[in-house]
């Protein structure tokens, strides 16, 4: 993990909310999604997660942790 922002917004995609954003490869991040994960715009390259899952991951990782994709 290179950077973590608990309440981030996308500067590329209309200020879309990105709660529990954890960046691991430049602009790529794990982050939560408000609403239905499977009925919406989809991912623009990040790894979208349910808010509860994004919060759980946030609470178990930290900056500097290795991410393998």
Annotated domain spans of the chain: 3-60
Interval 8-57: pLDDT, tens? 998 888 888 999 999 998 889 999 998 877 776 667 778 999 999 999 99
What is the model's pLDDT at position 41? 65
Both tokens of residue 24?
């691991």
What is the model's pLDDT at position 42? 66
Task: Name the percent of the chain in helix, strand, coil, to the closest 5.
Answer: 15, 40, 50
């Amino acid at each position: 993990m290179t950077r973590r922002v608990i309440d981030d917004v996308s500067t590329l995609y209309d200020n879309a909310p990105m709660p529990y954003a954890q960046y691991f490869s430049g602009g790529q991040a794990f982050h939560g999604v408000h609403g239905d994960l499977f009925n919406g715009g989809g991912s623009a390259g990040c790894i979208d997660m349910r808010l509860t899952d994004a919060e759980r991951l946030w609470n178990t990782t930290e900056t500097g942790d290795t991410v393998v994709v």
